[in-house]
Amino acid sequence: MNHLAPLAVVVPMIAAGVLAATASVASRRLADIVALLAAAASTTLCAILLAHSGHHEVVYWFGGWQPRSGVALGIGFAVDPLGAGLATFAGLIVCAALVFSWRHLEAISHVYHALMLVFLAGMIGFCLTGDLFNLFVFFELLGTAAYALVGYKIDQRAPLEGSLNFAITNSLGGILVLFGMALLYGRTGALNMAQIGHTLAHQHTDGLVVVAFTLLVAGFFVKAAVVPFHFWLPDAYSVAPTPVCAVLSAVMSELGLYAVVRIWWSCFHGAFGSHEEALRVILVVAGTITALIPAVLCFAQTHLKRMLAYATVSYIGLFLIGVGLLTHDALGGTAVYLIGDGFVKASLFVCVGIIQHRRASVDEYRLQGRARDMPLTGAMFALGGLALASLPPFGTFLGKSLVEDAAVKEGYGWVIVVFVLASAITGGAVLRAAGRVFLGLGPEGESEPAFELDEETETETGDEEGRDRTPFVMIGPALALLAGGLAVGLIPGLPQAALRGAAALEDQAAYVAAVLHGAAGAVPHLPAPPPPTAVDYVYGGLSTLGALALAGIALFRGRLPALAPRVVTRRAGEALWAVRQLNSGRVGEYVTWIVAGVTVFGAAFAVTML
């Protein structure tokens, strides 16, 4: 069974090589089929690993280089339930994206399919590896494929600029990770995460370890798009091909947070466990800022992809709050929240792709009332907005409730306000767009030129014919993804499985025993969490009603009495415009923000951990 772990990475890599090698002789449809079969096979392997890792840690050593006397020299995969679950989820999203690509992207070559498979292989390897250096390698592998996919239309200015911003900022994040890893290797002489954690737990920690921790966390925060490292994400997601957006939004940024979770519990918890409360404060505050500011910017967008990109950043903040609470209750709830949101966000991007296919635009004002003849797409888009607002019984509601309950236990009940506000604002933005695009509601307007893309960028579909209908291969993935977001909130036993997986990830002693000494590493048995209470439903109802109210105010503000004095609204508009201008598209400014962010996080960690 352990041998399935490398196969999950090898299968898409081999298929990618075959597709690249046969680009000049094989047909496009054959590439579609081969890519989908390879992604489905890899996803199945991950699902099998998920089932087995639910009982015990699955460890595989390449070349049979198993540890001797507790010292690991070889490279290995250490598969835990959360990692296997995330890998399976990534595979499902890639499969849906490949099916959607069949008709949405007509003018593509085998290179596109090969890049998608390399992207998938990188994500799966990242989730399964037990080696810190390979964690870096797999993230750079998937990142390189993502850069190329974002800039796939290299002859157009906007995708090229978005891809360059994406590549430069994330490469800088990769350098931070590499430097942090080098410091850790110099201190511990190990790259295996279990051995690093075991060594650090029995050594005196000093400034060098704090610097290593800062560089690693900051590097992964760049890739996760935590504020103030987030500027690259709207630039990249708003210009990437829509199927790529679905994968990026549902999985890629979340992997950065997963990496922080892995290195904290596997490498640093033994060394810095006594400073857990201080770290909790730093992470929760960072998550709060990341959730609220991008939520407001999300509501200010009229470019649908850019709107969903800011919603992605806002949800990264909510996930960071869940991760930052540093308990298995919160981590398990965050896992459920992440999967539920990922399905919904991918469905919303696919709906935007359908609109783009039918109307050749993704601008809310240009599309006003032009999608009245697309009721099914409109219903899915509106349901997606309600799901973002945590409408019961979607998975977003269940995950949010679990995290909120965990926050109350840790004395952070005030974060419930953050969850309600961020959910209401992001959901309200999507509902407002649904009302304007599919029902023609609201006053007419024009997008600000600085945030518009040229018409060529808005059009991805090469097929000019057949735009009077939506092919099933486009509507089907949207339906399946939205159903997935609903199923996450309804599947019995899923919250308990997520909590058990989180508890297994936190159990460093069992992890070290399984990886370095070949012990069974059984996953702990935990009782099922209580179902959502009436209070949880009240919070979910508040965020849903808040989203509907915000959408209604935006669409019917001309018929409503003024809610605030004119001077207040003018000042608020000026402040919002100033914040929007920070996302200038100039990569030099983004790098400056990265340097500032690393300094702030480094100072906070130094003050609290030394």
* Phi, then psi, of 532 in degrees rounded to 5: -55, 140
pLDDT tens, position by position, 235-253: 998 889 999 999 999 998 8
Confidence (pLDDT) at 27? 84
ω before 228 within 30° of 0 (cis)? Answer: yes
Helix segments in 444-507, DSSP class H:
455-458, 472-488, 494-506
pTM of the model: 0.94
Helix segments in 300-414, DSSP class H:
304-324, 328-359, 375-388, 395-409
ω before 393 within 30° of 0 (cis)? Answer: yes
Question: Lowest mean pLDDT: which of 40-49, 158-167, 172-181, 512-521?
Answer: 512-521
Q: Is the pLDDT of residue 451 over 50?
A: no
pLDDT tens, position by position, 486-528: 999 999 889 999 999 999 888 888 888 888 888 766 677 778 8
pLDDT tens, position by position, 339-392: 999 999 999 999 999 999 899 889 999 999 999 999 999 999 999 999 999 999
Helix segments in 389-466, DSSP class H:
395-409, 415-439, 455-458
Secondary structure (3-state) at 370? coil
pLDDT mean over 10-15: 96
Q: Is the pLDDT of residue 139 over 80?
A: yes
pLDDT mean over 393-419: 96
Q: Rounded CA gap, 423 and 421, in Å?
A: 6
Burial class (CB in 10 A: 0-12, 13-18, 19+), 116: buried
- Bin 525: left if φ > 0, else alpha if -120 < ψ < 50, else beta: beta
Residue in the structure block whose two tokens are 């199945």: 44
Q: What is the DSSP string of 263-309?
A: HIIIIIHHHHGGGHHHHHHHHHHHHHHHHHHHHHHHHT--BHHHHHH
Q: Is the pLDDT of residue 413 over 90?
A: yes
pLDDT tens, position by position, 281-307: 999 999 999 999 999 999 999 999 999
Structure tokens, 135? 């964690």
**Residue 464: pLDDT band with limits 50, 70, 90:** low
**Residue 26: pLDDT band with limits 50, 70, 90:** confident
Name residues whose C-beta falls within 8 Å of residue 228's C-beta, 6 or more positions apart in sequence.
593, 594, 596, 597
Q: Rounded CA gap, 256 and 75, in Å?
A: 21
What totals of helices (H) and strands (E) does the chain contain, helices first? 25, 2
**Residue 450: pLDDT band with limits 50, 70, 90:** very low
Confidence (pLDDT) at 447? 64
**Residue 582: pLDDT band with limits 50, 70, 90:** confident
**Residue 564: pLDDT band with limits 50, 70, 90:** low
